[in-house]
Chain A
Amino acid sequence: MPTIRSNLSIPLTHLNRIDDVRMETDDVEKRSATAFRPLCVKCGVFGAQDGSGYAEFGNTRVLAQMYEKKHLTSVNKLYNFSTGPEGDGKWEEAHAKVTITLKGVENETKVAELRADLTSSLSAVIFINKYPGKVIDIEVTVLSDDGGVLSTAITAVTLALAHSGIEHMGLTASAHVALKSNGDYITDPSTSEAEDAIGGVTFAFVPNLGQTTCVNLYGRIPLKATSPLLEFARQRAIALVPAIHKAVVNSVKERK
Chain B
Amino acid sequence: MSSEVLRGIDPRGYVSTFIREGVYPDGRGLLDEQKLVFKQGECGGVGSSVVSTQGVTVSCTIEASVSLVSDATLVDIQIESSQQLAEKDAEDYNNLLLSLFTNEHFIRRENLRCLDTSEKTLPLEWQLHVTLKVLSLEGSLLDAAVCAIGAALADTKLPSIALDHADTDESAIEKTQIQADYRTVHKLSLEEPLMCCSFGIFVDSGAKKNDEILLLTPTLEVIAVCRSTCSVVVGKNDLMVLIRERGRLSQFSLIKKMCMITAERRRKFVESLRSVV
Chain A residues with a Cβ under 8 A of chain B: 3-6, 8-20, 23, 45-49, 52, 59, 61, 63, 65, 67, 69-70, 101, 103-104, 137, 139, 141, 143-145
Query: Is the pair B178, A144 in contact by a Cβ cutoff of 8 Å?
Result: no
Query: Is the pair A20, B183 in contact by a Cβ cutoff of 8 Å?
Result: yes
A141 and B133 in contact (CB under 8 A), knowing A9-B66, A12-B63, A61-B42? Answer: yes
Shortest distance between the CB of A15 and any CB in chain B (Å):
4
Offer 30 A-B interface pairs, CB within 8 angstroms, sorted by A.
A3-B70, A5-B72, A8-B66, A8-B173, A9-B65, A10-B66, A10-B178, A11-B65, A12-B64, A12-B66, A12-B159, A15-B179, A16-B178, A18-B162, A18-B182, A18-B183, A23-B182, A46-B55, A46-B135, A49-B55, A52-B136, A67-B84, A103-B80, A104-B133, A139-B82, A143-B42, A143-B44, A143-B50, A143-B133, A145-B44
Describe B's contact surface by its main secondary structure: strand
CB-defined contacts of B80 to chain A, threshold 8 Å: 103-104
Q: Which residue of B lies closest to A1 (CB)?
A: B71
Query: Is the pair B65, A144 in contact by a Cβ cutoff of 8 Å?
Result: no
CB-defined contacts of A143 to chain B, threshold 8 Å: 42-44, 50, 59, 133
User: A3 to B48, alpha carbons, bound, how many Å?
Assistant: 32
Shortest distance between the CB of B55 and any CB in chain A (Å):
5
CB-defined contacts of A17 to chain B, threshold 8 Å: 159, 179-180, 182
Q: Which residue of A lies closest to B57 (CB)?
A: A46
User: A103 to B78, alpha carbons, bound, how many Å?
Assistant: 13
Q: A46-B57, A61-B42, A141-B133 are in contact. List 12 more A-B contacts (CB 8 A).
A: A6-B70, A9-B127, A12-B46, A12-B64, A15-B66, A16-B178, A18-B162, A18-B183, A49-B138, A61-B43, A69-B83, A144-B44
Q: Which residue of B lies closest to A3 (CB)?
A: B71
CB-defined contacts of A101 to chain B, threshold 8 Å: 83
Of listed A3, A11, A18, residue having the most chain B CB within 10 A: A18
Query: Is the pair A65, B135 in contact by a Cβ cutoff of 8 Å?
Result: yes
**Is B245's beta carbon under 8 Å from chain A?**
no
**Is B69's beta carbon under 8 Å from chain A?**
yes
Partner of B133, one of A46, A49, A69, A103: A103
User: A233 to B70, alpha carbons, bound, how many Å?
Assistant: 53
Partner of B43, one of A6, A8, A12, A144: A144
User: A61 to B55, alpha carbons, bound, how many Å?
Assistant: 20
Instruction: Sort A-B residue pairs by CB-CB distance and give the 8 closest, nearest first.
Output: A6-B68, A144-B44, A6-B70, A46-B136, A18-B181, A15-B180, A3-B71, A9-B67
Chain B residues with a Cβ under 8 A of chain A: 42-44, 46, 48, 50, 55, 57, 59, 63-72, 80, 82-84, 127, 133, 135-136, 138, 158-159, 162, 172-173, 175-176, 178-183
Query: Is the pair A4, B65 in contact by a Cβ cutoff of 8 Å?
Result: no
User: A103 to B132, alpha carbons, bound, how many Å?
Assistant: 11
Query: Is the pair A5, B182 in contact by a Cβ cutoff of 8 Å?
Result: no
Query: Is the pair B65, A12 in contact by a Cβ cutoff of 8 Å?
Result: yes
CB-defined contacts of A18 to chain B, threshold 8 Å: 162, 179-183
Q: Which residue of A lies closest to B86 (CB)?
A: A70
CB-defined contacts of A145 to chain B, threshold 8 Å: 44
Query: Is the pair B67, A6 in contact by a Cβ cutoff of 8 Å?
Result: yes
CB-defined contacts of A141 to chain B, threshold 8 Å: 59, 133, 135
User: A19 to B57, alpha carbons, bound, how many Å?
Assistant: 34
Query: Is the pair B72, A20 in contact by a Cβ cutoff of 8 Å?
Result: no
Shortest distance between the CB of B258 and any CB in chain A (Å):
25
A16 and B84 in contact (CB under 8 A), knowing A9-B65, A11-B63? Answer: no
Q: Which residue of A lies closest to B83 (CB)?
A: A69
Shortest distance between the CB of A32 and any CB in chain B (Å):
26
CB-defined contacts of A61 to chain B, threshold 8 Å: 42-43
Of listed B135, B179, B182, residue having the most chain A CB within 10 A: B135
User: A70 to B86, alpha carbons, bound, how many Å?
Assistant: 10
Query: Is the pair A12, B133 in contact by a Cβ cutoff of 8 Å?
Result: no
CB-defined contacts of B82 to chain A, threshold 8 Å: 103, 139
Partner of A5, one of B50, B71, B135, B180: B71
CB-defined contacts of B158 to chain A, threshold 8 Å: 12
User: A14 to B127, alpha carbons, bound, how many Å?
Assistant: 14
